[in-house]
Amino acid sequence: MSSIDAEALYRALVEHIRAAYGQALASNDGAVLAGVYSGGVWLAERLAKDLNAASFGVVNVALHRDDYAKKGLHSQARPTDLPFDVNGRRIILIDDVLSTGRTVRAAINELYDYGRPASIDLAVLADRGRREMPISARFVGGTVDVPANEDLVLARRDDGAFEFTTEPRAH
């Protein structure tokens, strides 16, 4: 498999969000960022800086996943932390990889535990297809082709840059 340039996908994602929202992330009543733990949080943190957002939230989906035990998710890894009122807000939900849609469904359920947003736009660094649910992202860094028996894993280097690796899918 050829290398997937996570930094190029990130730059594309930033431009897509900037084109749609402009300075709306910098204002107090504008859209807010919420990253899905953990890769989505790394992205949200960097996007907040690059898009001049005041802050970003963390969404832990562990308790809403139907495959909680199978995936080995830890609900205490980093709890959901939303430094904004969810009610009536436009939320940009950020995740690293979109595949089946199950993590996004869980993240939306978690957000609704905190209130009712005006809207939720999904932003992902990489879309690998293979949906099990009718979920699509408004903002996509790029579409990638990864074999079904491999996981696409985002890593953050010490300098803050992103890179993707693939690993055999655990059964």
Express each pLDDT in 44-78 by its tens digit. 999 999 999 988 999 999 887 665 545 555 554 67
Provide the residue ranges of all domains of the chain, joining segments of one domain with +: 6-168
| pLDDT reading at 32 higher than 90 | yes
Report H helices in 22-163. Answer: 39-50, 68-71, 102-112
pLDDT for the residue numbered 162: 97
pLDDT for the residue numbered 56: 96
0.75 exceeded by the pTM? Answer: yes
Report H helices in 3-51. Answer: 6-21, 39-50
Residue % of the chain over a pLDDT of 90: 78
Express each pLDDT in 82-127 by its tens digit. 999 999 999 999 999 999 999 999 999 999 999 999 999 999 999 9
CB atoms within 10 A of CB 20: 14
Report H helices in 59-168. Answer: 68-71, 102-112
Hunting for tokens 């009543």 — which residue is that?
Answer: 29
Hunting for tokens 């992902």 — which residue is that?
Answer: 124
68 vs 50, 62, 65, 140, 155, CA distance in Å?
A: 33, 6, 5, 26, 22
| pLDDT reading at 1 higher than 80 | no
In words, the CATH class of domain 6-168 is alpha beta
pLDDT band at 38 (very low <50, low <70, confident <90, very high): confident
pLDDT for the residue numbered 62: 85
Nearest to 155 by CA among 2, 11, 4: 4
Integer Cα distance of 130 and 137 in angstroms? 13
